[in-house]
Amino acid sequence: MEKRKVFVIGLGLIGGSIALAIKREHDVHIVGYDINEQQVKMGLSLKVIDDAADSIRAGVKNADLIVLATPVTKTEQLLEDISNYELKQGAIITDVGSTKQRIFQSATCLKERDVTFIGGHPMAGSHKSGVEAARAHLFENAFYILTPVGQQNMNKVIQLQNWLKGTRARFIEMSPEQHDRLAGAISHFPHIVAASLVHQVAKIEEKDPLVSRLAAGGFRDITRIASGSPVMWRDILIHNKESLIELLDKWQEEMNYVRVLIEQEEDDKIHQYFDHAKKFRDGLPIHKKGAIPAFYDLYVDVPDHPGVISDITGILAKENISITNIRIIETREDIMGVLRLTFRTNEDREKAETSLRSHMYETNLME
């Protein structure tokens, strides 16, 4: 019996990880396509995909499932192109875009075809990119949003979830409008704020270069998400502009309120403002994957002594614990320094904490 065929367009971190997740649950033939030939070659060598398509037209022809793992603007164009190609009867087409309304509108070009488009958004990622960073477990316990619309055949939604069960994600269904409103608030808008804070400090640096040295610690940490792909965030902001404009208006109101509190030295209200924020933030789920990739950090107190970093990495290596990033936050003569270790998963972080404490290192999570 001929294997079912999956066609993945876009062999980056997300597309590659979806391919691997599908492979670990289904005996299928996965074909990939990417405009970057090196990504295709890497995908083949790592066995993320089984074959490469010469063109998108050829790849979609006999595919049972088509995954559009491309930037949102490119996805719009792909939907239009695919609507003119030969497609397998009953095929399911899905995407991974961070915005949904405009993509759904673009997908109306498929309504005359005997195929089903279901919007998708796996709300997980990594601080690495490219197919070489793809992992089957990337989406485990993450929210995976599906946006079926109207009277779509629910059997197709179930089929798609079965296709994607290897992600071991938590599927949630919502409308494209609800998705964009919520994703705007918890993911898109925070990226704007982070980028704006960086711009503000960059302008201060023009007059006082010392600020960049001071910003190397906590400020750099809280603005990490500003290091995202400019191309991706340009497209997301344009696609979700209605939600973001509304959020910007509300943010202006919020900042005006804080300004009044400061101007009038409302000490009780300022205390309440931070107290309410602390309580809400502390009440959010810990160690759950959400719209913004989690940073599984462990902070380690280290003495100013030669070989201390190699000692720590050696301890973790013996336990087969991988570190995705390592940074010295502070180290000065005669005082304890602080080493920040970043891990791929919370499980790795917990194992690292146990191992390092058994070797008398002081650690903390600083949630």
Tens of pLDDT, residues 302-361: 876 778 888 898 899 888 888 877 877 654 444 567 888 888 777 888 899 999 888 888
Q: Which CATH superfamily is domain 179-282 in?
A: 6-phosphogluconate dehydrogenase C-terminal like domain (1.10.3660.10)
pLDDT band at 9 (very low <50, low <70, confident <90, very high): very high
Tens of pLDDT, residues 265-299: 999 999 999 999 999 988 877 655 555 556 678 88
pLDDT band at 195 (very low <50, low <70, confident <90, very high): very high
Contact criterion met (CB below 8 Å) for 22 and 144:
no
pLDDT at 182: 94
The DSSP line for 276-338 is HHHHHHHTSPSS---SSPP-EEEEEEE-S-TTHHHHHHHHHHHTT--EEEEEEEE--TTS-EE
For residue 87, pLDDT over 80 is answered with: yes
Strands 337-343 and 296-302, sheet pairing = antiparallel
Instruction: State the CATH class of domain 4-174.
Output: alpha beta
pLDDT at 334: 46
Q: Angle of helix 241-263 relative to helix 230-239, nearest 10 degrees?
A: 100
For residue 149, pLDDT over 50 is answered with: yes
Q: Which ranges constitute the DSSP H helices of 71-222?
A: 72-82, 101-107, 154-163, 176-183, 189-207, 210-214, 218-222
Tens of pLDDT, residues 119-139: 999 988 766 678 988 898 888
Spell out the domain ranges in the chain.
Answer: 4-174, 179-282, 296-364
Q: The pTM is what?
A: 0.75
Question: What number is the average pLDDT over the span 361-365?
Answer: 83
pLDDT at 333: 45
Tens of pLDDT, residues 200-253: 999 999 999 888 888 876 788 788 888 888 888 999 999 999 999 999 999 999
pLDDT band at 152 (very low <50, low <70, confident <90, very high): low
Instruction: Supply the Cα-derived Rg of the chain in whole angstroms.
Output: 23
For residue 4, pLDDT over 50 is answered with: yes
Q: For 231, what's the count of Cα atoms within 13 Å in the CB-facing half-sphere?
A: 5
Query: Does CATH number 3.20.20.70 belong to domain 296-364?
Result: no
Task: Name residue, tokens 């270069």.
Answer: 209
pLDDT band at 179 (very low <50, low <70, confident <90, very high): very high
